Structure 1
Amino acid sequence: MIVITGANGQLGQLIVAELLKTHSASSIAAAVRDPAKAASLAALGVQVRKADYNDPATLDAAFAGADKVLLISSSEVGQRLPQHRNVIEAAKRAGVGLLAYTSLLHADTSPLALAGEHKATEELLRASGLRYSILRNGWYYENYTAGLGGALAHGVLLGSAQDGRVSAATRADYAAAAAAVLNSANPEPVYELAGERGFSLPELAAELSRQAGKHVPYKDLPEAEYKAALLGAGLPDWLAALLSESDAGVAKGALEDNSGTLSRLIGRPSTPLADAVRAALAQ
């Protein structure tokens, strides 16, 4: 039995879909906060179990009979550590054979503020006595491509990354990696996962311009000004802060990795920039 927490999220649904290629639906459990919102997963035949990171009793029930658990990191920045601790303790009580966790690229050395809770969670895993596998996911293309429509409409792509490079991949790429680890008989303790060919935001703007047939330059802003622009676009404060601080980290090399681990793990090249832009413009 493989249990996926946060399984009705954008990444979780893709991981379940990947696992269904190699596992029967009855051997997969989707652990979600609100089972009523997981009808699409139930329709696939997977078990849907209630699991609230803040409620250990629900985690005990969700992990019953689990051989492997994938902890998809909480979306509640600032509350992640106690929530992740609850999951780890429940996994210990359930005696799971493997606890995998979606962390952040180079979490142990990353200058990003976002890395703090991931690094602390990794330390809890190492001290837990459980067999674990840490999936240090790099940046999602979708963090940028979701805003390409706005960039086209306004005629400019904003950011705060200077000429720093981002080794991004799609959620589907990272989902394939998670499934590969869960399917492995002997997974490694830590995987640094990132797209094999990095890009800069000026290069993203150039690719957008090429495919859209419209010149869309990149404009680099100080971090505070970029955050203000994101707030002006309607993003909540926590997300605007996260994206602007992460962009500033890109300028320091925080989201670049040339190890090729992701491609080797999934047995194919990670998605190239041009394909990610094309998919975003087709939506």
Structure 2
Amino acid sequence: MTIVVTGATGRLGRHVVAGLRAKLPAGQVVAAVRSPEKAADLGVEVREADYDRPETLDAAFAGASKVLLISGTEVGRRVPQHQAVVDAAAKAGVTHLVYTSAPHADDTSLVLAPEHKATEEIIRASGVPFTFLRNNWYTENYVQPAQQAIATGVLTGSAGRGRVASATRADFAAGAVAVLTGEGHEGEAYELAGDVAWTFDDLAAEISAIAGREIPYRNLTADEHRAALIEAGVPAETAGFVVALDRNIAEGTLAGATGELRALIGRPTTPLGEGLAAALTEA
């Protein structure tokens, strides 16, 4: 068995490779990356795989029985990039394609979902046996807001009382490893999330505990939030995305603490405060 992990030098991919190495001989794991020189420390075979250069993908997937497609990071370009990966996996005779998708990708208003929905459709149409890992939000995504809150004394947003069932990248990576090394996961779409869906008041409380002083959450209107982000130096397009995501959170799109990740990894997911503290230390 050969398992190929795409995006293996990314922050999620590195956790997946380490998890696979803990369970399998290193010779069964391949890191498929855009820049091979950045993967020398992974301890596994490294192959070039550039989503934008389909000609690199045939060699990257040669002999692969399973492929983990970690979704690309370039919003707006991911559908053709993922199409190239799926085509190459089908051509290589891959028997299990695992894809990191978004919560309820086929039926949600989540701003990030359309490209994931399109990719899931491409994978289904390919005929390659698949598993969709519909990952909720990463706890680490709140490092920058936490740093800003510690610097200013207040956490701001526009998510209201909306909840986020986040987990750490290590938690989600463990879920991917469980699927890649287990049996019976073909055809499944797992809604993966942390055990607890927290509010931004909860997030502020955890930041307060880390900082050693009270840092409240101040809920803003969407326009106020956008203006505050831009004033803080966030590009207008990014600010618009953050505000749209907070609107989604207020609508409940990330609130599903399903328990499916806990079941896959056989342990509780990392608590918000613990995961955030570790991420801040590493930042």
State the TM bucket, normalised to the shorter chain: over 0.9
Residue correspondences, number: 280
State how far apart, in whole Å, the 1-side matches of 2:88 and 2:235 are.
32
AA in 2 matched with 1:5: T
CA drift at 1:258: 2.7
Does residue 10 (structure 1) correspond to residue 11 (structure 2)? The answer is: yes
> Which of 49, 52, 70 is the aligned partner of 1:51?
49
Moved more, 226-235 or 163-172: 226-235
CA distance in structure 1 between the aligned counterparts of 2:139 and 2:242, rounded to whole angstroms: 13
Seen in structure 2, the aligned counterparts of structure 1 residues 95 and 254 have a Cα distance that, compared at 3 Å, is same
Structure 2 equivalent of residue 78 of structure 1: 76
Q: Which amino acid aligns with 2:154?
A: V
The letter for the 2-side match of 1:38 is A
- For 1:232 and 1:28, locate their aligned partners in 2 and report how far apart those are by CA, in whole Å: 46
How does the TM-score come out when normalised to structure 2?
0.94
Structure 2: where are the runs of 5+ without partners? Answer: none
Partners of 1:148 and 1:280 within 8 A in 2: no
Q: Which residue of 2 aligns with 1:39?
A: 40
Superimposed CA distance per residue, residues 182-203 of structure 1 (whole angstroms, 9 cap, x where no aligned partner):
0112114210000011100011
Distance 1:80 1:211, change over 3 A: same
User: Deviation string for 1:48-94 (max 9, x for gaps)?
Assistant: 11111111110111000000000000001000101100100000100
Q: Cα deviations across residues 10-50 of structure 1 (Å, max 9, x unaligned)?
A: 00001001000111111111111111222222xx2x11111
Q: 1:37 to 1:225 in 2, by over 3 A?
A: farther
Q: How far did residue 281 of structure 1 move? A: 4.5
Change over 3 Å in CA distance of 1:29–1:238 after alignment to 2: farther
Unaligned runs of 5+ in 1: none
CA-atom RMSD, angstroms?
Answer: 1.5
In structure 2, the CA distance between the partners of 1:236 and 1:14, relative to structure 1 (3 Å rule), is farther
After TM superposition, list the pairs within 5 Å mapping 1:1-283 onto structure 2: 1-41=2-42, 44=43, 46-188=44-186, 189-283=188-282
Residue 274 (structure 1) shift? 2.2
- The offset of 1:238, in angstroms, is 4.6
How far apart, in 2, do the equivalents of 1:102 and 1:224 lie?
32
The alpha carbon displacement at 1:104 in A equals 0.4
Q: Given that residues 222 and 243 in structure 2 are in contact (C-alpha distance below 8 angstroms), is that contact kept between their aligned partners in structure 1? A: yes
Task: Note the C-alpha offset of 1:125.
Answer: 1.0
Distance 1:227 1:40, change over 3 A: farther
Q: Deviations over 1:108-163 (max 9, x none)?
A: 11211210000011111111111000000000111113431221110110111101
Q: Which amino acid aligns with 1:245?
A: A
Check 1:277–1:33 CA distance in 2 against 1; reply closer, same or farther (3 A cut). closer
For the 8 Å contact 1:146–1:280, the answer to whether it is kept is no
Change (3 A) 1:224 1:11: farther
Residue identity matched to 1:172: A
> Matched residues in 2 for 1:25 and 1:239: separation?
39
Question: Partners in 1 of 2:5 and 2:202 — Cα distance?
Answer: 36
**Code of the aligned partner of 2:5:** I
Report the residue type matching 2:40 in the other structure.
A
Residue 239 of structure 1 and its aligned partner are, at CA, apart by 3.8
114 and 29 in structure 1: CA distance in 2 versus 1, 3 angstrom threshold: same
